[in-house]
Structure 1
Amino acid sequence: MPHRRPPVGPSARRRRLRIETLEHRRVLSGLPLGAEPLDTAEYMLGTVAVTPVFFESTGAASTQDWTAEEIDGVLQKIRNAMDWWSDTLDTLDTVHTLEFVYDETFAREPFETSYEPIEEISNRHESYLASFLQAQQADTSLTLRNAVRAFNNQQREALGADWAVTILVVDASGTDGTFKQGGSFSTAFAYAGGAYMVVPSTRDTNVFTHELGHLFWAQDEYTGGDSWSEHRGYYDTLNLNAANNPDPDFVQDISIMAGGTYRSTAFQNHYSPASTLALVGWQDSDGDGIFDVLDVPLELQGVASYDADSQQLEFSGSARAVALPNQNPEGLGNDITLNRISRIEYRVDGGVWRTAVAPDLQVTDVEFSLPLSSGFERVDIRAIDASSGVTSPVISATPTVPGSAPAAVNGYAFLDENADEMPALDEAAIDGLVATVVAASGGGLPAVGQLDADAYSAGSVLDDVPGLTPTANALYSDGQVAVTVDSGDGAGQRLAWYKATTAEWIDRWSPYDSLDVRMDEPTTRVQVTIAGAEPDAVGRLEAYDALGNLLDRDTSVKLQTGQSVVLEVQDPSNQIARIRVLGHAASEILVTQIGYGPELTVTSGEGGVFRFENLPDGTYDVAVTPPSVIHEFAGTSSVTVAGGRSSGLNVAVQRIASPWQNALENEDVDGNQELEPLDALLVINYLNRYGSSPLPSLTDDDYLIDADGDGWATPTDALLVVNALNRRARTEGQGSGELGSGELGSGELDSGGQAEQAAGWNLRQTGQQTATESGTTSPDAEVLAVDRLMAGNFSEDFLSAMGGATAPESPERSDYNDNEPPSAEKPADPLEPFFSEPLRSEGF
């Protein structure tokens, strides 16, 4: 038995739109996710818009005239023919539906033509079809087939359908139902991939059914039709029920795509074999009632966390439907899904699923809050498609540990104030913590590497790249890949292949000239940076295992010339042995960088959550670096990944004293055991140079400027020193000639703006005045103004108070500048359409 191949003019009449509204019909907001306008019939599920177009001859050539009865009869025949597919689907016990909606305008009012179609050879249909398209103001720059597909797309949008086809019917009453001899076809025929069929009006209902199969990629199976070795459709299925199947045990099954009694019997019994149905997308490999093309988990990303104070569970993230890679060797090859994010659901402690939000979109942001008392143990969150029942992986959160999308390792960093190594409701999350996989038991760490064109000299031939071997799979290529110079398009140096016939290096990669890269050892992830080589370029990255099976695919959005994007493929089972990089949809791209292997260093985000994705199964040691000098985590943590998942990793961070704080006297910045104006000036100088920022590791040359011990350098540290100096001045009875004798109240930094005076002026009052003069009066503006004053005027006052003394400068630091990292937050003050168009003829 042969096996499946491995994956790899008349005036236009006024239109009166007649639409059949079917119960449960889904109204879409646009094309199916991943589809282009010319993708009008990739698999037969969902809703199909059908436009019958009847032709009426005029003038001397006319021998046939449509009657109202004939029109009604043929339209009913078409409906019955389409319904056969819906009824057959119902016999398969799946979750799917198939519905047809109709625009009968051009059937009820046939399009006039000077030809009598049935008296002409079949090829003449192109002439009267072209006239019809011109009357519909079709794009004349397109091929005839694509012009029909463009018309079908308009019909799809008008009728709110997923797909659309056109049925051309020629009046054959009073004839033998065949076209004039000498043409390509004698009776009915169709052009695959959502174009159109042409059918004489007197043909049987099952002929219309048969031709619709062609429009959704099914192939002829009768003797003299297509061969068993031909293959196409979304799964690239072999035509195994073809009459010429050479397997000695082969017995042809009845099928709607066969001929004669085989077809009529299949029609009566609503039956066709598995290989036939797979060609139109009806294949359920795991027997769960969901066809493979839609049996793809939805993607839900985000973080769910519980706020004990407000007693709210909050979720922030995004969701999208995910398409199965399209392996059709004909058509555009776009990855298309009909699945939607119908609802985001939640359940508490394993209870019933309830709706949180119902976006009913294919791609959407997700934000919601749920009122929950703290007595729950776990909340699960998922996305679901209401039609197929396909869901996303579940995100689970507890009162003390936030939830995120499942990964090899899901981690949570928190401040363990009671030192029990268990998160609690009143213990804060730690963001900015860096976690690194440092060791793996039973072997080395997963291989990680990169090929960056900018790291090589222009002209370098890449025949010895660590970890991978690039090869050009291009016409007239000898397989070599080299680095070429930046051509000025902004993409940088790029990879190129050698064209032997012209003796030149070509830096463009197309659907026909691809870059193949073999990995020295299998990996879980590959990233490739590409750029557009022309306007509206589309790039594609594919991952294969050692046997050539397609594992994953990523396709870019349309790119402009020089515009870059990173494509990524993943396989948690660690089976990626080869990748293929190419231009898609008849476009050309540039390739500048290839990286492979899982990310071994990650950083906790807001809410303390971090994730290691794509770690192969194994046991790993993870070291962490807290984001602040006042936090500590001793040693490493061990985590085991099995089946691509682990039990998670909670990182309990301990609070320690700030090494930047003088433990004996907090305000003694220079450590000379004397409290003096110089201590305040040292803080001010640091702020003037680095701004408010988290403090780095302490060196021997640093001053102990963290007066409040919070691990940050802020104006508060300077104010604390000022307060201490004022307290000392009051205590010692000094006059205002030194530091001023302003009343400091209890000695604390108050929020009323009545204290914190130094050298005769009030910091907060002056900051408010500065903020007001700049046109802003927010608390943040006030703090910023105070910060700037302290970095400027205030230092001058201190120098004056010190008799013109100059403070030592803080040492230069290379790891901090005026730009704070994104995660750093200042703490509060103490306060182508290359369609193959085979000619399909029934031959009966």
Structure 2
Amino acid sequence: MKTKIIGILICTLLIAAILPSQAINLGKNENLTFDYRYLYQNDVLIPPDIENAQKNRGPEPGYYDTSEFMIGTISIGIIFLESDGSIDPSTEDWTQQEKDYVMGSLGIPGGHLQWYNWWSTENMYFHSFMVYGDVHTVNISYEPITHPSAITNDYWEKLYISEAMDELGYSTGDWMQRVRDYTNYIRDNTETLPGVFGTDWAFTVFVVDNSNDADGLFSDGYHAYAYLGGPFTVCPYLYPGPPGGPLLKEVFAHEMGHIFYATDEYNGNTDYSGYLNQPDVEGSGCIMDNLAPYISSGTRLQVGWKDTDGDHKADILDTFPETTLNPYTPDPTKDKVLIYTGTATVQPLTNNNPNGLGNDVTTNTIGGGEFRVDGGTWMYIDATDGTYDEAVEPFTFTTPTLTLGVHTIEAYTSNNLGNNDPTPASDTITIKNKAVDIPFQWLYKFLESHPNLFPIIQIMLKWLGLL
């Protein structure tokens, strides 16, 4: 069964009063009388395929760059794993009520935002934070909760996730590649607006039913876990322990932090992570510590929320594009109306993440451009394909009619945040009354090697009015 849920949770974030260096409620969660942190010791894993992965060459996020920083739009693949009893005895069966609870906990329509509120209301930027869901229930031969988690033994995870992805049509490669293929698919193909497809980021959550399990834990005693930087997390349906403890909403928010490179704040180590290579805050009493619904100053920096100059543009995106203008040929020319071409390219901030591939990427796009002649009025530049919406945009423009002489043509472009290239590209061109046409240029090259014929040819060209 497959359910498509498109275009949910749109929230423009205007929390300008929170300074980048401030922590958000660093107090302990006094409502928790039971220390749940032991359940999440070492609950983050390193994706095994990163070591041999190829680095991305362009400014846009590549195949492995599905959750580099938590700014922008996100597609979440939500996969309910349903055992069919064909290999393991089926001890768990999803009910619609259970699924509705999960969907509500993950912020899907009919739910009450929950984790989404915590992340979004503490985002200090004007960037929109949008989430879109792609939901499936997939039959598998295994009962995941009865086996060890991948924290101690990834054998079982490989089996049931490979099988689940095969059911969804992703059968190439190992379990990790299959999930990455699916995650990239939903990132590229989620419909965010009518006729508009694609999000900035994506990851997958495999939801494991544990409602009938004695302790609610995998057989090795672990609960939810995630791969640092994605592409997925595994979250059991119910929390273990006595009443009053964290729910799926807290657990999911914690694991989502790992997906975007946030580290645990309870292990006694100050860990550096994230695009900006920032330290966590040990014992913060926040979501990456004891699952309390607050975000520490360290976690915010690790997921990319930093605005050094206070312009409400995250440092990661507050960069400037580069403009390339192709020189006009021939030069000199007799043409008085010139058609120029060039390329605008967004520039990513250097990725200092000590984890992952460390690709320099950005979700920025080119937003427009202008040109001018001899320091005059700036005029609009058209994108070659008619729309500015890519990280790299070819452009073209046509000058007004120019007079004879030397002219300087300048062009600059801007990105979608309104940041202009501070160093416009330029070209100097000379316009002559009777510049030699390209078909006759071969003649000059011929005369260079036969100078004795030059006087005769010169007389002929003057007679023809070409000189």
TM-score normalized by the length of structure 2: 0.68
- The aligned counterpart of 2:439 is none
- Of 341, 356, 368, the residue aligned with 1:316 is 341
Cα separation, 1, equivalents of 2:452 and 2:277: 64
- CA 1:141–1:204 in structure 2 vs 1: closer, same or farther (change >3 Å)? closer
- The aligned counterpart of 2:99 is 71
Structure 2 residue 408 is the aligned partner of structure 1 residue 382: no
- CA 1:139–1:373 in structure 2 vs 1: closer, same or farther (change >3 Å)? same
- The aligned counterpart of 1:717 is 455
- Of 314, 336, 341, the residue aligned with 2:361 is 336
Q: What is the DSSP-based 3-state SS (H/G/I as helix, E as strand, rest coil) of the residue aligned with 1:342?
A: strand
- CA 1:118–1:81 in structure 2 vs 1: closer, same or farther (change >3 Å)? farther
Q: CA deviation at 1:219?
A: 0.4
* Equivalent residues, number: 381
Cα separation, 2, equivalents of 1:350 and 1:82: 53
CA RMSD of aligned residues (A): 4.1
- CA 1:99–1:176 in structure 2 vs 1: closer, same or farther (change >3 Å)? farther
Counterpart of 2:253 in structure 1: which amino acid? T
Structure 2 residue 422 is the aligned partner of structure 1 residue 393: yes
Cα separation, 2, equivalents of 1:716 and 1:390: 55
What is the CA deviation profile of residues 169-199 of structure 1, one whole-angstrom value per residue up to 9, with x for unaligned ones? 112336577214434x2x2211111221111
Q: CA deviation at 1:366?
A: 2.0
Contact 1:31 1:37 in 2 (8 A): no
Counterpart of 2:350 in structure 1: which amino acid? P
- CA 1:89–1:200 in structure 2 vs 1: closer, same or farther (change >3 Å)? same
- The aligned counterpart of 1:98 is 129
Cα separation, 1, equivalents of 2:114 and 2:3: 24
- The aligned counterpart of 2:249 is 205
What is the CA deviation profile of residues 575-628 of structure 1, one whole-angstrom value per residue up to 9, with x for unaligned ones? xxxxxxxxxxxxxxxxxxxxxxxxxxxxxxxxxxxxxxxxxxxxxxxxxxxxxx
Contact 1:236 1:329 in 2 (8 A): yes
- The aligned counterpart of 2:160 is 128
- The aligned counterpart of 1:188 is 224
Structure 2 residue 447 is the aligned partner of structure 1 residue 692: yes
1:398-797 map, 5 Å: 403-404=426-427, 691-693=446-448, 717-720=455-458, 749-751=462-464
Contact 2:183 2:204 in 1 (8 A): yes
What is the CA deviation profile of residues 67-123 of structure 1, one whole-angstrom value per residue up to 9, with x for unaligned ones? 222212211211225623662355x1x24222222111x1xxx22234333344334
- Of 232, 242, 245, the residue aligned with 2:282 is 242
- Of 274, 294, 301, the residue aligned with 1:278 is 301
Q: CA deviation at 1:237?
A: 2.0
- The aligned counterpart of 1:451 is none
Q: Extract unaligned runs of 5+ from structure 2.
A: 13-55, 108-112, 151-155, 191-197, 239-246, 436-442
Q: CA deviation at 1:217?
A: 0.6
Please tell me whether Structure 1 or Structure 2 has the larger radius of gyration of its CA atoms: 1
Structure 1 stretch 284-293 or stretch 213-222: which is displaced more?
284-293
Counterpart of 1:291 in structure 2: which amino acid? A
Contact 2:11 2:129 in 1 (8 A): no
Cα separation, 1, equivalents of 2:159 and 2:181: 18
What is the CA deviation profile of residues 353-374 of structure 1, one whole-angstrom value per residue up to 9, with x for unaligned ones? 8564443222232211144798
- CA 1:413–1:206 in structure 2 vs 1: closer, same or farther (change >3 Å)? same
What is the CA deviation profile of residues 394-446 of structure 1, one whole-angstrom value per residue up to 9, with x for unaligned ones? 528xxxxxx35xxxxxxx697xxxxxxxxxx98999xxxxxxxxxxxxxxxxx
1:161-176 map, 5 Å: 161-173=199-211
Cα separation, 1, equivalents of 2:9 and 2:423: 34
Give the number of the structure with larger relative contact order, counting CA–CA contacts within 8 Å between residues 6 or more apart. 2
Structure 2 residue 457 is the aligned partner of structure 1 residue 830: no
Cα separation, 2, equivalents of 1:119 and 1:226: 31
Percent identity for Structure 1 against Structure 2:
28
- Of 326, 345, 356, the residue aligned with 2:370 is 345
Q: CA deviation at 1:340?
A: 1.4
Q: CA deviation at 1:157?
A: 2.2
Q: CA deviation at 1:380?
A: 6.4
- The aligned counterpart of 2:19 is none
Structure 2 residue 62 is the aligned partner of structure 1 residue 33: no
- Of 142, 147, 156, the residue aligned with 2:187 is 156
Contact 1:170 1:198 in 2 (8 A): yes
- CA 1:312–1:125 in structure 2 vs 1: closer, same or farther (change >3 Å)? same
Structure 2 residue 70 is the aligned partner of structure 1 residue 44: yes
Q: Extract unaligned runs of 5+ from structure 1.
A: 1-12, 244-251, 267-271, 397-402, 405-411, 415-424, 430-686, 696-704, 706-712, 724-747, 752-828, 832-844
Counterpart of 1:194 in structure 2: which amino acid? G
Contact 1:118 1:177 in 2 (8 A): no
Cα separation, 1, equivalents of 2:401 and 2:301: 47
- The aligned counterpart of 1:232 is 273
Counterpart of 1:296 in structure 2: which amino acid? T
Q: What is the DSSP-based 3-state SS (H/G/I as helix, E as strand, rest coil) of the residue aligned with 1:148?
A: helix
- CA 1:715–1:308 in structure 2 vs 1: closer, same or farther (change >3 Å)? closer
Contact 1:297 1:393 in 2 (8 A): yes
Cα separation, 2, equivalents of 1:196 and 1:350: 54
Cα separation, 2, equivalents of 1:156 and 1:96: 18
- Of 111, 121, 133, the residue aligned with 1:88 is 121
Q: CA deviation at 1:391?
A: 2.5
Q: CA deviation at 1:276?
A: 1.2
Contact 1:220 1:226 in 2 (8 A): no
Q: What is the DSSP-based 3-state SS (H/G/I as helix, E as strand, rest coil) of the residue aligned with 1:293?
A: coil
Contact 1:346 1:356 in 2 (8 A): no
- The aligned counterpart of 2:176 is 145
Q: CA deviation at 1:332?
A: 1.9
Contact 1:317 1:365 in 2 (8 A): yes
Q: What is the DSSP-based 3-state SS (H/G/I as helix, E as strand, rest coil) of the residue aligned with 1:101?
A: strand
Q: What is the DSSP-based 3-state SS (H/G/I as helix, E as strand, rest coil) of the residue aligned with 1:361?
A: coil
- The aligned counterpart of 2:33 is none
Cα separation, 1, equivalents of 2:361 and 2:6: 26
Q: What is the DSSP-based 3-state SS (H/G/I as helix, E as strand, rest coil) of the residue aligned with 1:161?
A: coil
Counterpart of 1:221 in structure 2: which amino acid? E
